[in-house]
Amino acid sequence: MRIHRSLPARPGIDDVEAALILIRNADTEEQSKTDVISRQKRRKYIPEELFNVLIEMQKHFVQFQTKEQKRDAVKLLELEHYHQLFDEMIQRASKCCVPSNSSNNVNNNVNNNVINNTQSTASNSSSSLPSTNSASFSGANLDQSTPSSMSVSTASTSRLSFDKESIKRSDLVTRDDSYVKNSKSTFYGGSIGGGGLRLDEFSTPRIKDSSLKPAVSSGADGEKLSLIKLASLIEVSSKKGTKDLNLGNKLMDQIEWLPDSIGKLTSLITLDLSENGLVVLPSSIGNLSSLTKLDLHSNKILELPESIGDLVNLICLDLHDNVLTSLPASLGRLSRLQELDLSSNSLLFLPDSIGSLVSLQKLNIETNDIEEIPHSIGHCLSLKELLADYNKLKALPEAVGRINSLQRLSVRYNNIGRLPTTMSSLKSIQQLDVSFNELESVPESLCFATTLTKLDISNNFADLASLPRSIGNLELLEELDMCNNQIRVLPDSFRMLSKLRVLKVEGNPLELPPRNVIDQGAQAVVGYMSELYEKKDSKVPSLKNKKSWTRFFKFSRSNKRNCRDHYAAA
């Protein structure tokens, strides 16, 4: 028993199961990477031998990574193997140590405890444990030459008694010696057969059952999780029915993938895996059918599995700051998704299935390489915010005008030359930012989007030379930024912008209104344009009268000529 207790703590059943899953996943990942390496093609200018060396080195490096990933799991399974081996030896030894008939019950207790505890883990680990000959552990072998070497006086042995009813559950601190408690009897001589096995070693076991240890930490104490600890945490969380799991910035840097056992967490509602080094997600993540929030930002994810579309209850999906180049079509199955953040990736396009996200309210695709937004975006009838800054857009689809719910549209830093004519249909639009583009004009139709409160058309430089004549229709407009364009004159209807509070016109060759008026603020400009219009309007009647007398005079003279010609003909 002393030798047995000198082993490290026995792994829990969850830990053993996690280790088996981790090893299987590591082997699968190794095979996948090896296949990718094998499919590489040599370029013409690279010597064949040099290419072969590169391939071999890449494969060996993958093997090295896999061994490192499996190291802790293999060590844990080896430890479990030795615990099983020692269980069998203790069972054999127990038959020799309690010869008295009066202690048969204790002997049966010992055997049952060892057998039950061995069976509880053997089914999970025996299939992958290395075979080891028990004879190799010489320190565990008993002297079998003569029975007298372990002889104990009958009187002394009879004094070693156990009160079954007095054993409490709290005393069962180890899986191997759960039958041991503080004995009330004395042990004359303090040892058994002079072998050095003292009674105090039974009463003070040094190793506690791992099942009584606190649950695996999720890294809240600052310590990052290894793969084996992550796998164990998943097993424990699965059995507890955990609903919220925060692993943000808590995985070791070398962890690039998740065990497929992540799919067991079917009770999860929120999962945070942000700020780690994940490269790929297992397809089993689609089993998290209760998930409403998934945070994967700031990883190195290259692609999403098709099974992502199985997260039918997902409301919020954050994928910003990864290296995605495309999205699976199955994303369109997320019919309850309300927030989707795809910013700071390497996306070249959006799938047409994006239009199936009928509950989507906020779409962020900033900082990608997208050249075109699909027309299907017009089917996202719940969309309130569309953020597409820092892309390569050349135009917006006309279908944007169908999104009556749209409140904020931002397409800064693109190559947009014109806005769609359907902008007038945006009945809820409040903020529009088309700065740093190549706009040549602002369509008159935009001025019928009368809910607009903030408009930014700045920094279109030499392309934008005028404002729409009917800009005055935007009576709710509070902020207008038109800096760094080629606008010279404000239109007459500008006087109708009675709620304008912020006006930025720097970098324009403005002639009307004059600079001194502009410096007084937005309302001063509105007032000036109003006065100017009134002055113009007062001159209009006299001009109209003059034109009417001239027309009458011309008409009279022509009438006279026509009458005279008609009379002469008669």
227 belongs to a structural domain? no
Q: How many domains does the chain have?
A: 2
User: Three-state SS for 214?
Assistant: coil
Which residue is listed with tokens 């699968």?
Answer: 28
559 belongs to a structural domain? no
Q: Report the alpha-carbon distance of residue 372 to residue 394 in Å, rounded.
A: 7
185 belongs to a structural domain? no
H-helix or E-strand containing 123? helix 104-125
278 pLDDT exceeds 70?
yes
97 pLDDT exceeds 60?
yes
DSSP conformation class of 479: E
H-helix or E-strand containing 93? helix 48-97
405 belongs to a structural domain? yes
- C-alpha angle with apex 373: 371 to 374, nearest 5 degrees? 125
The token pair at 469 is: 């004549």
pLDDT, one tens digit per residue, over 137-147 is: 333 333 333 33
Overall average pLDDT of the 189-197 stretch: 38
CB 299 within 8 A of CB 324: no
User: Three-state SS for 278?
Assistant: coil
CB 415 within 8 A of CB 437: yes
Q: Which domain holds residue 32?
A: 9-41+52-81
pLDDT, one tens digit per residue, over 312-359 is: 999 999 999 999 999 999 999 999 999 999 999 999 999 999 999 999
Read off the CATH number of the domain in which 380 is found: 3.80.10.10
Mean pLDDT estimate for the chain: 78
- Burial label for 182, CB within 10 Å (0-12, 13-18, 19+), is exposed
406 belongs to a structural domain? yes
Q: Report the alpha-carbon distance of residue 125 to residue 112 in Å, rounded.
A: 20
Q: What is residue 279's predicted lDDT score, i.e. its pLDDT?
A: 93
Overall average pLDDT of the 71-100 stretch: 81
519 pLDDT exceeds 60?
yes
Q: Report the alpha-carbon distance of residue 272 to residue 269 in Å, rounded.
A: 10
CB 219 within 8 A of CB 225: yes
Quick one: pLDDT band at residue 222, thresholds 50, 70, 90? low
Q: What is residue 73's predicted lDDT score, i.e. its pLDDT?
A: 81
- Looking at 392-538, which runs of residues are DSSP E strands? 408-410, 431-433, 454-456, 479-481, 502-504
Instruction: Report percent pLDDT > 90 for the chain.
Output: 49
Quick one: pLDDT band at residue 85, thresholds 50, 70, 90? confident
Quick one: pLDDT band at residue 23, thresholds 50, 70, 90? confident
Quick one: pLDDT band at residue 36, thresholds 50, 70, 90? confident
402 belongs to a structural domain? yes
Alpha-carbon distances, residue 235 vs 14, 117, 174, 249, 308 (angstroms): 6, 19, 22, 20, 22
